[in-house]
Amino acid sequence: MTYRAKKFAGSLAVAALLCGVAAVEAKAAKPGAFSVLDVRSAGTPILTLDEAESLTNLTIANSAVATSDYTVINFQDGGPDGEFLGGNADFPNGSGDDFAILVSGCISVSKAGDVTFGVTSDDGSRLSVNGIDVIIDDELHAARTTIGMVPLLKGSHQIELLYFERTGGATLELSVVSRGKFKLLKAASCP
């Protein structure tokens, strides 16, 4: 089984989204935590989301693999901070270049509606909900925020965030609009 097929469980907690259109409560395999896979390349540059996916599937050489649990996704290593100042965590494998992160989990939507997500990343990232890409940012760049909206029905939905870092500073934040403002997604429990 590859790591991607394993679908590491993650979680979010959001009471109300954008003008109360939808409410989301995240679910996780481990209560109150996102599960995060961090895979470091063994000298192969990671320049695209496809290469990041290959690395997290362990189909290209890697030098270090770590899994950890976090209550929010707010990582920073060198360079400027992202949108949420302070409270940053180190990446699971620490600092470095040419690595990929895979965060997976489920969310539970209590009321159907549009849900707006944000990913702040340096470098690229892809956010998928139920296997549908909501955010695709397949470029090398300094920290910037990309947003995407997806209509979700009431019930449980799968979420996956793939990220890659080439060189220099590294930032990864996962957020959602709640009451008109972006807020870091807080972990909860999966059913």
Domain ranges of the chain: 3-184
pLDDT tens digit string along 114-143?
Answer: 989 999 999 999 999 889 999 999 999 999
Is it the case that residue 62 has pLDDT exceeding 70? yes
Per-residue pLDDT tens for 90-117? 999 888 899 999 998 777 777 889 989 9
Residue type at 122? Answer: D
CATH class for the region spanning 3-184: mainly beta
Asked if 129 and 145 count as a contact pair (C-beta separation under 8 A), the reply is: no
- Tokens representing residue 35 in the block: 């599960």
Other beta carbons within 10 angstroms of residue 33's beta carbon come to 20
What is the percentage of the chain residues whose pLDDT exceeds 70? Answer: 78
Mean pLDDT, the chain, rounded, equals 78
